[in-house]
Structures are given as structure tokens and as C-alpha cells.
Amino acid sequence: MVAQPLMTEQKPAGEAVLDKNWWRGAVIYQIYPRSFQDHNGDGIGDLVGVTERLDYVADLGVDGIWLSPFFTSPMKDFGYDVSNYRDVDPIFGTLGDFDRLVEKAHALKLKVIIDQVISHCSDKHPWFQESRLNRTNDRNDWFVWADPKPDGTPPNNWLSIFGGSAWTWDSRRMQYYMHNFLASQPDLNFHNPDVQDAMLDGMRFWLERGIDGFRLDTVNFYFHSLGLQSNPVVKPEDFNASTAPAVNPYNFQEHLYDKSQPENIAFLRRLRKLMDEYGDKATVGEIGDSQHQLEVMAAYTSGTDKLHMAYTFDYLGGEFSAAHFKKSIELTEAQAPEGWICLAFSNHDVVRHISRWATHGQQEEFTRLAATLLLSMRGSVCLYQGEELGLTEAELAFEDLVDPYGIEFWPQFKGRDGCRTPMVWQTQSQLGGFTTATRAWLPVPADHLTKAVDRQVRDPHSVLSHYRAMLAFRHQHPALIKGTIETLDGPEGVLAFLRQEGTERLYCVFNMSEKAVIVPVPAGFDPAPSGAPGIADEPIEAALSLAPFGAYIGVLR
């Protein structure tokens, strides 16, 4: 695949050059505001707290931040149930606080991406409050309403990801309304052009405030089939639990009719047209579709008239093996040759990748390898807060859970609270320096305190130092940012690929196994000094010995 050329606009002397492709290969640091830094002492993180910690984020060497939702919300799903798309929830602060956050971020050369949750909203949103009154009001079809079957049951077999039917009865209209998630998160009806207009107007509001892009939550959930056909049973050979945990019956259906509908393409074109009005803004879509995710990603990111990039759950739920990664890279390149993937190993919705994958007892070595691999693959990258500290999934008691998803499927699935616990800044503070309150909204695990920022920041051998070194190394090599990728065959347990941009060519090898391996090195490659522990940098003849979870990056002479 040939990387697209850098697009810039010529500006008069003294003005900044507009880089429309800044997002391509960028590294974005995801901030979950509730858990990053509490400024006002109520035990919940806020926007002022985020602003206070932006220097730390900039010092990592990332290119921008992604803020999880901070909009007005009853917080049934912790901000992913929006009741006002144009304001900040008081627990997070004010619009003025947000503006000051953006101002400081930009002063630090950080882009600002914000979450947009537009497939559904809160049942407390005035739009839904009006829509549910009767079948004749001005917003009667802004949501997905359907009559019951003659026996009173829901119109079809669609399921909610959070458990149970995707349909809830409303006695005012004597109809069911659709919700892919909680019953308090009704799905908006994107078949109605007025709904699309309202959502685009809301996004324009934030573009005018100076944000640099949107992360689009559940971007393939906007449209449903107007025929309301029941989904077929998934074939055993196609069973995939990447979108939902294995214990969730949501996986038993092939979701042909409740999401990923062809009408979405036209809306994404409308969205891209809006983004293009502002020159250098970007979109990244979350695609949750176990059976068709690469196909959907290809459709949504091809060309230059839809999403800029998207991410799937290949690396957020799949296995950590050379075979799986090689297959995923090759499928992405084959099925989405014009697209651009956004890579992540952890985020606010999945078990932290160290706990998910490092079950072999070599956690330190694994953590460094995972960082090196993630920052060497082709695509843009999202790092999740605390990942750079080597944080593991928090083990919480049932009584400490607040996530409705985890409460529903406990104990086989413990929900998302374990990856959302507060950031740890200070080892000697009871709550890690996150808050001055006596209690945080989620507990701070004792073992997280030993990995706090103040303990790692001056240690050249710490996980944090490794991330910083790898981010600096990535910025020094255009092939890692925008270059092509070509997988190579290697010994069992070894992932190898070539990255190339212009005349720069890098040979990247990763031992993803628990055993040392001998790996051949093509002629003409010398070690590329990274300054990051765990990457072999000794001179190589024709082969090298890679320790368990070791890596090598060579540059062509």
C-alpha cells in the first residue's frame, strides 16, 4: 500500500502551515476525565484537573488527547448517555473550563479530540421526553419506535449489548423503543434527516470552539434496517466474542439488521463535508461488528469523503500471538487498502492489555514489548491513560462496582470499572494524588500506587521511560509514522515486518513468545538505536538471538 502524500496549505509568512494529514500516524493519549485528576476535591476527575496535568501528557511525546464524554448527563452510563450535547456536566466543570483546556493543549502543541455519542442519547434528553409523549408530536419519529407483535412481544429478536432485549415498552405511546445499550439510552432514528441535521449542528458547536476532531462512539450503530427483520443465528464457525464478552448472548446473533446498514455511508459523507469546512479536523470511528468489522472499516474509511480512520477490536480483544497479529495486519491491508486504522491495545471499555495478555509471569518484559510493537505498527495509535505506567486491571469487589454492564454479567464478566480506576500520580498518597477527598468514585488499588508517576518519571529503566523513548524514536522515523507495512515469515512466535517511507526502510522483529529465538536479519540492516530498554541494539551479522519478549528494529544502510 502506498502512503498518501502529505497535504498542506500554503500560508503567508508568519502563519502556521495547515497539515491536513496530522492525524495519519499520530499518537493520541486517551483521557477518561472522571479518573484523571480531581481538582475540586469531590472524588471525581474534572476538566480543570485535566488541564493541570497536560504538561505531563505533552512531555510523553504524544500528538494529542482524546477526551471521553464530559457532556451533561444523568451518568447512568457515565457520560455515554448524553442529555445535552452542547454543555459540560457540572461534575466536570463549565464551558469556560473546557475552552481553557483547549487553549492550554494547543499551547503545548497537543491536538484535542472529543467523544461524540450520537447513535443514542439519554432518556432524559428533551428530544426523547417530547418524542415519547404521543405519536403526533414534532419529534415523534426522532427515535426508533415500533408496534408490538400481536401477542404483545417486541417486534423482533434484537438484543441489547448490556443484556436482554433491545426493546423497551413505553405505556404513553403503546409502542416499543429501541436501545442497543441501556434502556435509558434510546437509539436516535438516523433515517430522519432532521436528526442528522441536529447532530451535525451539535458537532459544529464544538468545532467552533476549536477542537481538532471527534472520536465517534459506535459509528456503525447509527442506522437500523427499516424492515425490522430478526437477526439470524450466528454460525458456529463465525462465533466471535470481540464486541461483547463470551457470556453475553449478544454474540449468538449475526447482526445483519440492527447495525452496519448501507445508509450510514451517506451520513458519513455529510459528516466529512462538515469536517472539511474546518480544514484540518479528523474523525476516528469505533466499529463494533464481530463478523464484518474489516469490511465495515474498509467501507467507512476508503477514499477521502468519509471517516479519516477507524478502529476495530482485533487488538482490543484478540489473542497476543504472532500468528494472530500477522493475520490481522494482512487482512487489514488486503480488505481495507485505502483505509487507515487506529491501533489500541487498551481503552476504557476493555480489560487492560497487561492483565489480558501477560498471564505468563514475565510482565515487565511483556509490557515493554507491547509498547514497542504498538508504536511500530502501521496506523495511528491511541494510548490509554495509565498504560504508560504499566497499570494492570484493578480487582474490585462486587460492592464497589458502578458499571451497569459488569453488574449485569457478574461474576464471569466484571465490567469496565477495573480499567477505569483513577490515575496514580503519587506513590505516598492514599489515593495516588488523584484527589484530596477521602474517597474516590472508584477505589485506587494498592498495587497501582507502586507504579505512580512520581516513582517512574526519573527512573531511566521504568516503563514510563520506555514509552517516552519509544515515542521519541517513532517521531524520528517517518517509516513508523506514515510508512507502508509488509509482513514477513519468521520462526514460530515471531512477528516480523518491514516499514518503508521514501528511502527509509526499517526491519522490525518481535519475539512474542516465552522462549528465546534465533531470528535471521536480512543483509544491509543495522540496529536503529532507540534508547528504549528491551530493543536489541548490538551489531548483527546474519542472525540475532532474541530473548523472550525481546524486539529488534533495524534500519537499512
Residue whose C-alpha cell reads 472529543 in the numeric block: 114
Q: Do 355 and 414 meet the contact criterion of CB atoms below 8 Å apart?
A: no
d(CA 177, CA 354): 39
- Of 103, 277, 395, 514, the catalytic one is 277
Rg of the chain, C-alpha, whole Å: 23
Residue 469, exposed/middle/buried by CB under 10 A (0-12, 13-18, 19+)? buried
- The H-or-E segment that residue 369 falls in is helix 363-374
> Which three-class secondary structure state does DSSP give residue 178?
strand
Instruction: Give the sign of the dihedral formed by CA 345, CA 348, CA 350, CA 354.
Output: positive
- 277 among known catalytic residues: yes
The residue type at 547: A
Q: Where are the alpha helices (DSSP H) in 145-231?
A: 193-208
Query: b/e string for 31-60 if b means 16 or more Cβ within 10 A?
Result: bbbbbbbbbeeebbbbbbbbbebbebbbee
Which candidate, 328, 321, 358, 362, places its Cα nearest to that of 343? 328
> Which three-class secondary structure state does DSSP give residue 398?
helix
Q: Do 421 and 444 meet the contact criterion of CB atoms below 8 Å apart?
A: yes
- 157 Cβ partners below 8 Å, 6+ apart? 230, 231, 253
d(CA 483, CA 268): 26
- Of 77, 89, 187, 217, the catalytic one is 217
Q: Do 557 and 519 meet the contact criterion of CB atoms below 8 Å apart?
A: no
Instruction: Give the sign of the dihedral formed by CA 247, CA 250, CA 253, CA 259.
Output: negative
278 Cα distance to chain centroid: 23
16: how many CB neighbours lie within 10 A of its CB? Answer: 7
Instruction: Give the 3-state DSSP-derived string for 44-88, with helices as H, strands as E and coil as C.
Output: CCCHHHHHHCHHHHHHHCCCEEEECCCEECCCCCCCCCCCEEEEE
400 Cα distance to chain centroid: 25
84: how many CB neighbours lie within 10 A of its CB? Answer: 16
d(CA 527, CA 218): 41
Pairing, β 167-170 against β 175-178: antiparallel
> Which three-class secondary structure state does DSSP give residue 30?
strand
Directed axis angle between helix 293-301 and helix 264-277, to 10°?
Answer: 40
d(CA 300, CA 465): 36
Catalogue the active-site residues.
217, 277
